[in-house]
Amino acid sequence: MSNKDLKGPLTVIKGIGPETAEALGELNIFTVEDLLEHYPFRYEDYRLRDLTEVAHEERLTVEGIVQSEPSLMYYGRKKSRLNVKLLVGNFLIQVIFFNQPYLKNKLAINEYIQVTGKWDMHRRTITASEMQVGPSNKKETLSPIYHVKGSVTVKGIRRFIQLAFHQFGDKVEETLPQALLRKYRLPNRRDAIRMIHFPQDEQDIKQARRRFVYEEFLLFQLKMQALRKFEREQSHGVTHSYDSMKLKEFIEGLPFPLTNAQKRVVNEILTDMKSPYRMSRLLQGDVGSGKTVVAAIALFASHMAGFQGALMVPTEILAEQHAESLKSLLEPFGVRCELLTSSVKGKRRKEVLESLQNGDIHVLIGTHALIQEEVHFKRLGLVITDEQHRFGVEQRKVLREKGENPDVLFMTATPIPRTLAITVFGEMDVSVIDEMPAGRKRIETYWAKHEMLERILAFMEKELAKGRQAYVICPLIEESEKLDVQNAIDVHAALATYFLDRYQIGLMHGRLSADEKEAVMKAFSSNEIQVLVSTTVVEVGVNVPNATMMVIYDAERFGLAQLHQLRGRVGRGNEQSYCILLADPKSEIGKERMQIMTETNDGFVLSERDLELRGPGDFFGRKQSGVPEFKLADMVHDYRALETARNDAVIMIQSSAFWESAEYSSLRESLRKSDVLQGEKLD
Ligand code: ADP
Ligand code: MG
């Protein structure tokens, strides 16, 4: 792969001139190697098939004898449809060509033709995209289909790859050590390139793909593991030495005993904090599993060791709530906690910043502005972030580089399926709270059609009459915030009419100012408002234990993980809570998703299903997902290969052979060029 010839521009290939090279540039293909690594995304099967063995809607190629005069019909300006009857074996079928009127003249009764297209079993029809005239004589093949752009055609690119392979195929070098190829019975790189572009059969495709998938995952995991190694070895990380007796007292003084899972993760975190390594740990725990108190324990330990701590959250509302909980937990022990958000202004802001710089403030709570602005800590030892899944590996790296290499704990309430955890958070250590505090009631979840709204409102009225409160959630549509706000406003107006003077209805959405949001949240917390109509702003963290009911409009528009997050706003007190999903999903998958929500309260189960149903790109939401892109590999379907590669990478990075032996030189080379590792010293 590191071969000079393969790094050459496309024009070194005989048969490719500057014009073709430029066209291929549109596809991000610049070198011979790029061209050879432009893998097909599927194959057209030109091998003749027996119609009795073909499933409905499958693509296929058949050979037959033309039985009727072709009939051509035009409709619209450029649209046409060409029909012909074809005898395939004993089957008389219909073949349709759309928008290829010129084929009419090539069709003659009693001639042999081969057609390729999609089989409709019920109508006995093939909607054909391609046709060959004459009895088949050429070898039956699987033809690769490539992504193309501009003037480059699939046929063109097939030819260019053929030219490239013919001239430079023997220059393709192995990147993986022989031992690994043997262990997993993978074809060598050169064979794999040949097999993926010019397969003899399905086995070729399968084996070649297996090799490239493993290679992609291994390279990625090596980067992650190398990053982890370098970070761990930064000897100038913070060593927290604290009084463990006092920490024990603090834990015993909490209003409740820790669950076993909380105890376990507290130990994992404290072990990291005591060590001279920089902690880089992901703490996963379902909504309500009790992450805040774990954070408080870590912050208390850091304080005792003479350091300051910071807690960063994505929204101001959340910052305020966290500030309140942390104050109540920590201030009785003399730990001063302060809030810093954009609404802390003027003199007050100045005061906070000064007290922070001279060390009077021990724990600072706020949004991400905490580490970016004019904020200076005296001695920052621990940074905790909540809901970190919104940020990719680069952003996390920036965060870790702040200050004096503080220990960093990333908390997330989105249970992350293991496949994603080891890719998106591959460089981190992971702790999981997989147990809920005792006595939690299961939230009863129902799926209802929108037409049942009347009955649902009657049910809500009963809950409200018991003194409880309710959330009504309207979907957030990323492209059209206006529409989304309007939606919430309409629902708010409708409910205000429905409940008249009996109950107060509040409205919350992203367009309110921070002050307005705060006022609404306060009113809801103190039960001045009984029903809160809101967009997903309330998604994270908000805690009003008296709220026992949630209605989610258009629930099918949300991901399962997000629905689960939203649902976690109820069920926080001692009373039975309810979640009603209003949804009229059209697709089977949509129905399945609603069904799953009613069946389980387990965030990990839901997130695994969500990943399966929606794929990794959508799992975290499109923006800043941090989900890496692979050429061939698919982390959901190829999860076994991913785990294998991960385990191999962990071992490799620790071995001296990896850093010294020639067999690994190509892998080392790829690491050196990686974006993630820019600035880190290798060797
Ligand atoms: P999350 O993990 O969603 O951030 P919180 O930290 O907000 O969860 O905890 C949810 C609720 O559970 C809080 O009211 C908290 O006081 C309570 N809690 C946390 N740990 C325990 C425990 N071990 N026993 C009982 N209640 C607990
Ligand atoms: Mg929380």
Nearest CA to ligand 1 atom 10: 288
Whose tokens are 């990896």? That residue is 658
Please give the structure tokens belonging to residue 263.
């105890």
Q: Which range is least confidently modeled, 125-129, 130-134, 304-308, 616-620?
A: 616-620
Supply the Cα-derived Rg of the chain in whole angstroms: 31
Rounded-to-integer distance, Cα 340 and Cα 320, Å: 9
Residues near ion ligand 2 (CB < 5 Å) are: 291, 541
pLDDT in tens, 44-103: 888 888 888 889 999 988 999 999 999 999 988 889 999 999 999 888 999 999 999 999
pLDDT score at 622: 44
pLDDT at 625 over 70: no
Rounded-to-integer distance, Cα 361 and Cα 352, Å: 8
pLDDT in tens, 247-272: 999 999 999 999 999 999 999 999 99
Nearest CA to ligand 1 atom 20: 290
Whose tokens are 């033809």? That residue is 143
Q: Give me the sign of the Cα torsion angle 140, 145, 146, 149.
A: positive
Ordered alpha helix ranges (H), 74-153: none
* Distance in Å, CA 329 to ligand 2 centroid: 14
Question: What single DSSP character describes residue 123?
Answer: T
Q: State the closest ligand 1 atom to the C-alpha of 287, by its place in the atom list counted from 1.
A: 3
Rounded-to-integer distance, Cα 106 and Cα 131, Å: 10
pLDDT score at 398: 62
Pocket of ligand 1, candidates 262, 289, 328: which has the most ligand atoms within 8 Å of its Cβ, to mutate? Answer: 289
Ligand 1 pocket check for 562: Cβ under 6 Å: no
The DSSP annotation for 383-443 comes to EEEESGGGS-HHHHHHHHHSTT--EEEEEESS---HHHHHHHTTTSEEEEE--PPTTPPPP
pLDDT in tens, 26-49: 999 999 999 999 999 999 888 888
CB atoms within 10 A of CB 650: 16
Rounded-to-integer distance, Cα 111 and Cα 105, Å: 12
Ligand 1 pocket check for 293: Cβ under 6 Å: yes
Rounded-to-integer distance, Cα 233 and Cα 228, Å: 9
pLDDT in tens, 516-572: 888 898 899 899 999 999 988 775 657 788 999 999 998 988 888 888 888 988 988
pLDDT score at 477: 46
Burial 317-353 (b: 16+ CB within 10 A, else e): bbbbbbbebbbebbeeeebbbbbbbebbeeeebeebb
Q: State the closest ligand 1 atom to the C-alpha of 257, by its place in the atom list counted from 1.
A: 23
Looking at the chain, the whole-number percentage of residues with pLDDT higher than 70 is 90
Nearest CA to ligand 1 atom 18: 290
Rounded-to-integer distance, Cα 183 and Cα 521, Å: 59
Nearest CA to ligand 1 atom 13: 290
Shortest-distance ligand to the CA of residue 266: 1
Pocket of ligand 1, candidates 263, 283, 292, 601: which has the most ligand atoms within 8 Å of its Cβ, to mutate? Answer: 292
pLDDT score at 370: 76
pLDDT score at 299: 98
Burial 463-497 (b: 16+ CB within 10 A, else e): bbeeebbbbbbbbbeeeeeeebbebbeebbeebbe
pLDDT at 1 over 50: no
pLDDT at 385 over 70: yes
Whose tokens are 């291929």? That residue is 24
More confident residue, 444 or 372: 444
pLDDT at 144 over 80: yes
Which of 170, 273, 272, 177 is closest to 218 using CA atoms?
177
pLDDT at 192 over 50: yes
Which of 456, 408, 458, 415 is closest to 429 using CA atoms?
408
pLDDT score at 390: 57
Nearest CA to ligand 1 atom 19: 290
CB atoms within 10 A of CB 239: 14
Ligand 1 pocket check for 468: Cβ under 6 Å: no
pLDDT score at 676: 59
pLDDT score at 2: 46
Q: State the closest ligand 1 atom to the C-alpha of 294, by its place in the atom list counted from 1.
A: 6
pLDDT in tens, 563-609: 888 898 898 888 899 999 999 888 888 899 999 999 998 888 888 88
pLDDT band at 512, cuts 50/70/90? Answer: confident
In the chain, the N- to C-terminal Cα span, in Å, equals 21
Ligand 1 pocket check for 143: Cβ under 6 Å: no
CB atoms within 10 A of CB 18: 10
Q: Which range is least confidently modeled, 322-331, 370-379, 395-404, 479-488?
A: 479-488
* Distance in Å, CA 234 to ligand 2 centroid: 30
Rounded-to-integer distance, Cα 237 and Cα 228, Å: 13
* Partners of residue 505 on adjacent β-strands: 531
Question: What single DSSP character describes residue 616?
Answer: H
Ligand 1 pocket check for 284: Cβ under 6 Å: no
Q: State the closest ligand 1 atom to the C-alpha of 439, by its place in the atom list counted from 1.
A: 25
* Distance in Å, CA 292 to ligand 2 centroid: 5
pLDDT at 335 over 90: yes
**Is 145:42 a contact under the CB 8 Å cutoff?**
yes
Please give the structure tokens belonging to residue 79.
């649209």
- The helix (H) or strand (E) run that includes residue 304 is helix 291-304
Nearest CA to ligand 1 atom 25: 437
Q: Which pairing describes strands 112-120 and 125-133: parallel, antiparallel, or unpaired?
A: antiparallel
pLDDT at 374 over 60: yes
Question: What single DSSP character describes residue 309?
Answer: E
* Distance in Å, CA 353 to ligand 2 centroid: 25
Ligand 1 pocket check for 289: Cβ under 6 Å: yes
Average pLDDT along the chain? 87
pLDDT score at 479: 43
Amino acid code (one letter) for 92: L
pLDDT at 423 over 80: no
Ligand 1 pocket check for 436: Cβ under 6 Å: no
pLDDT band at 231, cuts 50/70/90? Answer: confident
Ordered alpha helix ranges (H), 109-168: 154-168
pLDDT band at 326, cuts 50/70/90? Answer: very high
Nearest CA to ligand 1 atom 9: 290
pLDDT score at 35: 95
Nearest CA to ligand 1 atom 5: 290
pLDDT at 439 over 50: yes
pLDDT at 457 over 90: yes
Ligand 1 pocket check for 256: Cβ under 6 Å: yes
Length of the chain: 683
Rounded-to-integer distance, Cα 570 and Cα 583, Å: 19
Looking at the chain, the whole-number percentage of residues with pLDDT higher than 90 is 51
Ligand 1 pocket check for 259: Cβ under 6 Å: yes
HEC sequence for 469-515:
EEEEECCCCCCCHHHHHHHHHHHHHHHHHHHCCCCCEEEECCCCCHH
pLDDT at 311 over 70: yes
